[in-house]
Structure 1
């Protein structure tokens, strides 16, 4: 089983926890097959708040990916377009069951000293 930790802004991590955001968009994805994502909610929370199952990874042109994911994107079309401007391809992790932690965890509990810019593999 492959787990990665992603840094996600609180406005988006909260939407994942609420079930209104079912896709996590990225310009690049992990090379390995990812089964689970640990959600690191960035400033001001700065804690690992949940884990979420990964159902799959989508790769499309930005416009095609938006058409497939917009209902549960959890992001405005304007912000989505800005994020993927000048990109040939856009990626999205399709999110499944979310497990919110009873106690948010520090990065140090995973042997990490600084939040990743993109992602980091986690040994489980």
Structure 2
């Protein structure tokens, strides 16, 4: 899917831009269309867009996701949603969310993949360290613009 239209100049369509760490197997589920939500213990309460950094063994930025406003609810309700999307995931989701009061189910609106940007390149150019969860790219315009240019083939 091409997502160039996501970068509309009209301010009302702009969302915060993040770099989100994801395990490679979950990115594959996004690409196959099986994964409709990203689940997190902690997250922002607003709709965001995110570049996707795949953790080990890939260690590269490979894609982009446009997210809707997260559903914030009890672990049981988040686990019920996960179970409805992926039968057999209830127990694992309950373990993941643990004793938290709330969890986040972040709807995936659209996604795009592109040629990976290796961690080594990011370290060399920006002194980049991969985030455990996410980082706000709007706070690092040079890194943001570099990733965006690679994404859009500029």
TM over 0.5: yes
* 2:76 is aligned with 1:70: no
Task: With a CA cutoff of 8 Å and minimum separation of 6, indicate the structure with the bigger relative contact order.
Answer: 1
Bigger radius of gyration: 2
The verdict on how the C-alpha distance between 1:93 and 1:120 changes in structure 2, with shifts beyond 3 A counting, is same
Structure with more helix by fraction? 2
| Match status 1:106 vs 2:118 | yes
Residue 43 of structure 1 is matched in structure 2 by 56
User: 105-114 vs 8-17, which deviates more?
Assistant: 105-114
1:56 aligns to what SS in structure 2?
A: coil
TM-score by length of 1: 0.85
RMSD: 2.3
1:5 to 19, 23, 47: 19
SS in 1 for 2:70: strand
**Which blocks of at least 5 consecutive residues in structure 2 are unaligned?**
1-14, 139-143, 145-154
Label 1:19 to 1:113 Cα distance change in 2 as closer, same or farther (>3 A).
same
Pairing partner for 1:18 from 15, 32, 36: 32
Indicate how the Cα distance of structure 1 residues 75 and 116 shifts in structure 2: closer, same or farther if over 3 A, else same. farther
Aligned 8 A contact 2:82 2:93 in 1: no
Q: 1:80, 1:111 → 2: CA distance?
A: 35
> How has the CA–CA distance of structure 1 residues 43 and 74 changed in structure 2, closer, same or farther, with 3 Å as cutoff?
farther
Say if 1:5 and 1:38, in contact at 8 Å, map to a contact too.
yes
